[in-house]
Amino acid sequence: MAGLHALANPLKAMTTNLLDFDLHGLQAFCESLGEKRFRAQQLFRWIHQKGESDFDRMTDLAVGFRHKLKQHALIKGLDKISEHTSADGTIKWLFSVGNGDAIEAVYIPESDRGTLCVSSQAGCAVGCRFCSTGHQGFSRNLTTAEITAQLWMAEHHLRQKLGRSERVISNVVMMGMGEPLQNYSALVPALKTMLDDHGYGLSRRRVTVSTSGVVPMMDRLGEDCPVALAVSLHAPTDALRDVLVPLNVKYPLAELMQASLRYLDHAPRDFITFEYCMLSGVNDQPEHAQLLIDLIARSGVGGQGLSCKLNLIPFNPFPASGLVRSSVEAVGRFAQQLQQAGLVTTVRKTRGDDIDAACGQLAGDVVDRTKLAQRKSSQRVIPVVVSPL
């Protein structure tokens, strides 16, 4: 049975979850069972295009092959804890990933697309000041199967719910819980499954990885699986970004911007998206806008600024942050200043905030193995000042 209800298979612990494989990995697995590689394509289509988890229903596979699969493999999604639907149609799922950890995935329907926001970790070790996930600490990386399962389950559940046989999810954004590039080895096979024509057949332009700036992995992603890239910028200076995005201490702005420029050589689009969370009195002043303009202008080559799009994100408050959303007027002035400087700038529409499904609000339920709460209580709070310029 496909979708959200296709869960645990009562097989022994030695079985392999086939959601862990991209097509290349599934081919190797089939060969290990003594089968031809082309069998993997048939199996891959059954799993991802049809959402099937019962080997007996895969009628064009040889009976002997199906018997081997039942002995050595299973197709197991995630246990759904809850599902909430926003007034605007956004759907948020809470999934258990075992040992007290739970993650969230969000479906955002629009007139011309259906976007799924996918998590890559249980918690997050980066600890951005404005992100609810970061305030929970970090438990562990998700497996490839756990990343892929979010798309597998959401896609086929939505097809059943909407009575559709064609693809519902047209875009995937790795913008859920976690820093995707800190879980690189599990991320890339999941991305390849999303892109594979025998899988979900998504365009590279419609799969986006968001990163807080893990510079070495940005370079590797450009070589291994160049999908669209969104960089969480949020500040125009190192002094301010060190406070808002602690990873900046390791990979400061000069390195991050040069890595973004290098990524353009491989990117499916001719620009990088920079995400900028608008925080009242913190990073939303005219001097911050000008510093952002200057940063982008000097980060290109040949006198040209770095080709990019600025995505201004209204902050979605949560109690532990101590931060306040910029006013509509402040966001408008900031956007206008960037646009007048020739930068393509959009303001993200907030979706699903009534069910805590908006950007920065995904929290799930994480057993923090980094003891973040204890460390925070023993450290001096660093104030966020208006203009550390």
Q: Is the CATH code 1.10.10.970 the one for domain 3-74?
A: no
| DSSP result, 180-211 | GGGGHHHHHHHHHHHH-TTTT---GGGEEEEE
35 is catalytic: no
Catalytic residue among 124, 277, 308, 359: 359
Catalytic residue among 104, 146, 155, 179: 104
CA-CA distances (angstroms) from residue 204 to 209, 261, 267, 269? Answer: 10, 18, 9, 9
Q: What letter represents residue 81's amino acid?
A: I
104 is catalytic: yes
Collapsed DSSP state (helix, strand, coil) of residue 274: strand
| DSSP result, 245-258 | -GGGGTS-HHHHHH
Superfamily of domain 79-378: Aldolase class I (3.20.20.70)
Contact 153, 147 (CB under 8 A): no
CA-CA distances (angstroms) from residue 257 to 214, 236, 295? Answer: 11, 11, 9
174, two tokens: 């790795």
Spatial distance between the Cα atoms of 122 and 146, rounded to a whole number of angstroms: 10
Residues contacting residue 44 through CB under 8 Å, at least 6 positions apart:
23, 26, 196, 198, 199
DSSP 8-class letter at 346: E
Domain edges within the chain: 3-74, 79-378
The one-digit pLDDT tens for each residue of the chain (389 residues) are 444 444 444 444 468 999 999 999 999 999 999 999 999 999 999 999 999 999 999 999 999 999 999 999 999 999 999 999 988 899 999 999 999 999 999 999 999 999 999 999 999 999 998 988 777 889 999 999 999 999 999 999 999 999 998 999 999 999 999 999 999 999 999 999 999 999 999 999 999 999 999 999 999 999 999 999 999 999 999 999 999 999 999 999 999 999 999 999 999 999 999 999 999 999 999 999 999 999 999 998 777 899 999 999 999 887 778 899 999 999 999 999 999 999 999 998 875 555 454 444 444 555 655 555 444 444 434 444 444 44
